[in-house]
Structure formats: structure tokens, C-alpha cells
Amino acid sequence: MRPVLVILAILVAITFSVLAFDRPLPRAELNLINGTEFITLDPQRMTYAHDIRLNYAIYETLTRWDTYSDFEIIPGLAQEWSVSDDTLEYTFRLDPNGRWSNGSPVLAEHFVYSWRRALYPDTAADYSNLFFVIEGAEDFFHWRARQLDEYTALTNDQKIARFPDIAETPGLSRNERLARAAQALRQESIDHFNNTVGIRALDDHTLQVRLERPTAYFLDLCAFAVFAPCYPPLVERFASLETSTGRIQQAYDWTKPPLLITNGPYVPTDWQFKRGMFLERNPYFRIPDFAKSATVRITPINDPNTAVLAFQTGLADFLTDVRVDYIADMLAQKEQGLNDYAQAISTFGTYYWNFNCREFLNDGRRNPLHDPRVRRAFAMTVDKHAIMMVATRAGEKSASVFIPPGSIPGFNSPQGLPYDIERARREFNDAGWFIGDDGLARNAQGDLFPTVRLLFSTGSYNGAVALALGQMWREHLGVRAEFDAKETKAYRADLQRQNYMLARGGWFGDYGDPTTFLSLHRTGDGNNNSAHSDPYFDDLLTQAENERDPEKRMRILEEAERYTMEETLPILTIFHYNWYFLYKSPEDAQGRPNPGGLRGMSNHPRNVQYLWLLEVVRQEELDAHLAAEAAR
């Protein structure tokens, strides 16, 4: 009996001592549940939706959007700006009251540093190519990559000899010389940047940017998360140079409170890995009490079911993404008045299937989908409404075009291809394929249409959609399909190497311009997974790049989308994504304040939710409302 008690005592003691170290975050004025932990708080390296939403709360960009209107550009940290007559030079006047959370002023210099950082391949910023619209930026990016490669190839002696000053300074150890050589190499790159890239701080509060080519959406880019500044003195403390390669090695200790310094309405005061984050108002923010809620708590919950249960039992006021497949039922229940918190908005994204447009498949066989007529025939035999019944069932809009209609002001979406089996068969016949008596498609030589392989990642509704597609093509075109379900990483690898015939895809736009979608189908684009290559289309995009009249430019881009959606068809669009939230409506059915409801959400498809605009309706508001009603 005694050993049992001893063991039990030890176990209990360890348990308690561990618990003593965990400090649960207190409830805040606004409480969020996110579906994942944040990936990074480094503004230049962000890519994920949650990180970007947080970015807008803790950093401040030059411009921002009026999320309640048509996403008009309004001043952010830059109070005003002027554009030169050739539309290439932007001069921003920064608010002199802009402050970092340690009280020091936000300078134009900080933007130069941050944007330069984004253009270093060493930083490995996924979005670095958004900066390529700036004069000399793309060349600098590749210049730096070459500089590092050449430096790495040198022997240590050659590295030191590359900088005669360092080689000749007496009294230095070899290690010190190498370290200094790496620093000199970095200085060389900074000098090169200053001489060739069109980003300049004219004075403390004036930033001038010269563009490579007219970019109608540049002010929109300036509002995007990765264009936010980081605090250079802080970042530099954790940036070292690898002496063998000259590469900048960035450690991320600085993104964790209390070290982290930001310039937005909020500053994170606590971040515990996988436990949660706590935001408080930045005491130095240039507009006092700008953020509606004084404190925000964000709890990451990975499991979709647990997240929904946690919201329902009151852990949070706002679940920022709902990934359970019964969301369709929750929305239907809301219609019947059974809950008041399931919310859906349409977004700036599209679910589609890629056609492999290459002439030959990876195994050397001729690819029948190389012929646009076949691709069009495939697309016109798909009943998208039937597919949505097996996919999300949650009321998304079916898509005949890539860019969600109505999401970009001034851009008129084309028609796209209809659901038309007769026309599809005609196109199919024109391409040389005929449906035989056995219901199977053959060409003039009698060869069967190759079995199409449908590649998709496991999980979610992709498998159901693939089955539905395969069945439609079998029925209407006599084409047999086989299915290739792969785990995400393997699927992604195949997709990038065009090791497929048809593959599931999806895309969300980043900035408010058609090119955020259309550039995907440009020859050689890094995200051109269908390997679509068409000179007319490429030419249209180049024309648009050089067109200074915004109206004419939009017409060119409209033609570009019409051309890909009605003629060359690199992708088969299925539906425009919805985004699902759980939060109580701010007003009840009678229009009274609904305590616990969330006020301030934007319904625009761009789906940017500035956290500092959100607040939870308080009980006092309802009391006051009722008192006023009674008085009347």
C-alpha cells in the first residue's frame, strides 16, 4: 500500500507544480476564437487570414479601407498623399503623431526598412512579389539572391579579401574579419537598394515611392497587411549574419510580448503558445481610445467541433471561422429562429478545378485536355447547382467566372459558359471525340478517350465533388474518370508539377484589383498550376499594365477574364466561397440591442474585419433602450 501512496503523491505533486506555471488569460471586452494558432506576427512574412486580421489590429498601414462602403481607400497613418502626373510617383505625408507602443514616433525611415526587408530573399516573405510594382524592386530581389550565391561560393580568405579595408585592418582575428566582411556585404546591399529601388524617406514624415509601371491599385496595396511597418531597432536586435553565406538570419523572439512593439490601435501584451493572446489598446496610438473594445482575447481552438461547443458555452463572443460540415444545418436553424448566431458572408474567393493545359502529361501521353474545346465541353456539362448540393449545402453562389461578381468597383464580370449539354457535345465533336453506341467517347481512329484522373486533397467535400464531376462527364460525354485522393502535402506537390489531369483548387484575392485573380493564368506565374499559356491573354495583361486610364484598363481586364472564362478555360469554376462566423447579431428581431451581440462587422465580400471596429453589445444598452421605450 505504501508504494502506491508514494507514487500517487509524486504524480499529484508534479501535476500541481506544472499547473502553477500556467496563467489562464482573463476574459476581455471582446473574446475571439480562432481556428488556428497565429503563424507569425512579423508583418512582412504574413500569409494566413488570421495573421492578416491580427495585423490590421496591431499595425497601422499608410492607407486603409472603408470596410462599410465599397472599400474606398481612406487615410491611415498617411494623412495625405500626392501622385505625380505620370502616375508613377507617390508622396505620402505621415501623421507626425504616429507612435510605436514604446512611445517613439513612426518615421518614414521605418517604412523604407520594412519594405526593404520584404525584398530580401533572406526574409523569405511569401508576398515579396507584391512589392515588385515598385521601381527596381524585382531587380533588387534577384540581385541580392545572386550576391549571396556568389559570396557563399567564396572561400573564407576570398571573403575577407573581397573587402580590402577589412583585410588590411591590423589586429583582428580571422573570425572578426569574417564577421565584418558579412556586415560589409550587407551594407553593400543596402547601398545598392538605396541607389536602385524607388523607396525614399524625404524627411521624418515624408515617404516617396516611385513605381516601375502605372499601378492603379497601388494605394490598395499600401493598405494590405504586408505593407505595414515593423520597428527596426527591435527587429535588428534579433537579426544576425551567417558568416559562411552572408545571409541575414532572423530570430523571432521579438514577436513575443513584452518585447513586441507595434504601431497599431492594439498591442499584444501576452501571447502563450496554443493558449491564447491578449491585446490591449496601444497607449500611444495617435488617436486616443480609437479601438472600440479596450481589450481583446484570442483563443486558438484547432478542432472545429470543440470551437463550436466553446462558443456555444460562452467562451467567446466571436468564432472567426467555422469549419464544421453541419454549418449548413446551423444556418437553416437560424432561419427557423432556433439560434441567433450562425452567420455567412460571401467572400473574395472561388472554388474551382484546374485543367492541366499542357500538351503532354507527365507520363509522356498526349493530354486530351490540352484542346480548349474539350475543356469547354467538360465545363458546360457540369451542373453546378447539383454539385453544391453535395458540397457545402450552405448556400454559396455558383460561379461561372473567376472573380466574384460585384467585389471590385468598376469591374463588370463576363457571362462565363452556360450549363448546356448540346453545345458541349458539339464542341466535343469539333475536337474530334464522338460518343459511341456503348456510351464511351472515341476519336476517329477508334481510340477511347483517356480515363481522366481527378486529383484532390482528402478531407472536406472535395471527394464528393470529384465523384459528382466524374459521373456528369461519364453520363454526358462518355468519359471515364478515376480518383486520386491525396494527403494535402502530396496533393500540393503534384499540383505544382502538373502531375494530374484535373485537380481541385481555390483562390482568395489579396488586393482590390482584377489582377489579383487574373495574373494566376499568366505564362510562368508561380501560382499558374494549370500551366495555362496564351499569348493573347498575356498580351492583354501587359496592355493593362501600361494603360494609364483606369476606365480603359478595366475594359482590357474584363476582356482578359472573358477570354479565359469563355474560351481558353484554364479552370472550371464551381462556386464563390462563403465565410462562416458564429456571433450573435447586435440587434434582436424587434430592433433592440442584443446583449452579447457583436457590433461592427463588415458584410463586404473582401471580408476584412478590423478588430478595432468590433464591440460587444452590453446589457446596459438594452436597459437604457427599454427605459427609453417605457418613457415613450
Partner 1 sequence: MIGLILRRLAQIPVVLLVIYTVTFALSWALPGSAVLNDEGRAPPAAVIDAIEKQYSLDDPVKCYTQYLVRVTGIHWLSNRISGPSTTPTDVREYIFDFGPSFRFEDWSVNEIIVSSLPVSVALGLSAIAIALGIGLSAGVIGAVRPNSWIDFATLAVALVGISLPSFVTGTLLLILGPVWAGVGTVGAWGTLGNMLLPAFTLSLPFAAYIARLTRMGMIEALSADYIRTARAKGVGPTTVVLKHALKNAFLPVLSYLGPAAAYAMTGSFVIETVFNIPGIGQHFVDAVRSKDLFLIMGVTLVFASILVFFNLAVDLLYRFVDPRIEQ
Q: Which of residues 315-344 bind partner 1 (CB under 8 A)?
A: 315
Check residue 493 for interaction with partner 1 (CB under 8 A): yes
State in angstroms the smallest separation of the CB of 45 from partner 1: 6
Residue 173 makes contact with partner 1 by CB under 8 A: yes
Minimum CB distance to partner 1, residue 291 (Å): 23
- Does residue number 541 form part of the binding site for partner 1 (CB under 8 A)? no
Torsion (CA) 511, 515, 520, 526 in degrees, nearest 10: -70
Q: Which helix (DSSP H) or strand (DSSP E) does residue 387 occupy?
A: helix 384-390
Give the footprint of partner 1 on residues 85-124 (CB under 8 A): 121-122, 124
Question: Is 19 near partner 1 (CB under 8 A)?
Answer: yes
Is 184 one of the binding residues for partner 1 (CB under 8 A)? Answer: no
Pairing of strands 199-203, 89-94: unpaired
Q: Quick one: which of 275, 480, 599, 618 contacts partner 1 (CB under 8 A)? A: 275
Q: Which span sits near partner 1 by CB under 8 A: 307-315, 556-564, 600-608, 612-620?
A: 307-315
Residues within window 431-470 making contact with partner 1, judged by CB under 8 A = none
- Listed in sequence order, the residues at least 6 apart from 80 whose beta carbon sits closer than 8 Å to its beta carbon are 92, 93
In the bound state with partner 1, the residue whose beta carbon lies nearer, of 312 and 542, is 312
Instruction: Name the residue with cell 537579426.
Output: 239
- Structure-block grid coordinates of residue 305: 467541433
Which of 28, 197, 301, 331 binds partner 1 (CB under 8 A)? It is 301
262 contributes a contact to partner 1 by CB under 8 A: no
Q: Which long-range contacts (CB under 8 A, 24 or more apart) does 594-602 make?
A: 594/340, 594/622, 595/619, 595/621, 595/622, 596/317, 598/317, 598/318, 600/292, 601/343, 602/67, 602/68
* Residue pair 440/449 in contact by the 8 Å Cβ criterion: yes
For partner 1, which stretch binds (CB under 8 A), given 57-65, 297-305, 385-393, 420-428? 297-305
Site string for partner 1, 139-168 (x = CB under 8 A): --xx--x--x---x----------------
Residue 530, CA distances (Å) to 99, 151, 503 in order: 46, 37, 9
Q: Where are the alpha helices (DSSP H) in 393-514?
A: 421-430, 462-477, 488-496
Residue 124 CB coordination number (10 Å): 10
Q: How far is the CB of 618 from partner 1 (least distance, A)?
A: 22
Residue 186 C-beta: closest distance to partner 1, Å: 9
Taking the complex as a whole, how short is the minimal distance between the CB of residue 300 and partner 1, in angstroms?
Answer: 8
Residue from 34, 38, 381, 574 that binds partner 1 (CB under 8 A)?
A: 38
CB 356 within 8 A of CB 372: no
Contact with partner 1 (CB under 8 A) among 201, 310, 324, 421 = 310
Contacts of partner 1 in 364-423 (CB under 8 A): none
Decide whether 396 or 427 has the Cβ nearer to partner 1: 396
We find the least distance from the C-beta atom of residue 48 to partner 1, in angstroms, to be: 8
Q: Supply the minimum distance, in Å, between the C-beta of residue 316 and partner 1.
A: 8
Q: Using the 8-state DSSP alphabet, how is residue 434 labeled?
A: E
Strands (E), 362-451: 397-398, 433-435, 441-443
Smaller CB separation from partner 1, 34 or 400:
34
According to CB under 8 A, which one of 68, 273, 360, 536 is a site residue for partner 1? 273
Closest CA to 503 of 398, 351, 392: 351
- Site for partner 1 contains 237 (CB under 8 A): yes
Q: In 10 A of CB 484, how many CB atoms?
A: 17
Residue (47 or 269) nearer to partner 1, CB: 47
Kindly state the smallest distance separating residue 446's Cβ from partner 1, in Å.
38
DSSP letter at 26 equals P
**CA separation for the pair 482, 124 (Å, rounded):** 38
548: contact with partner 1 by CB under 8 A: no
Distance of CA 474 to the CA centre of its chain: 36
Place of cell 460525354: 477
Q: How far is the CB of 196 from partner 1 (least distance, A)?
A: 17
- The total of other beta-carbon atoms located within 10 Å of residue 179's CB is 16
Tell me the site size for partner 1, rule CB under 8 A.
90
Q: Which of 303, 325, 359, 482 binds partner 1 (CB under 8 A)?
A: 303
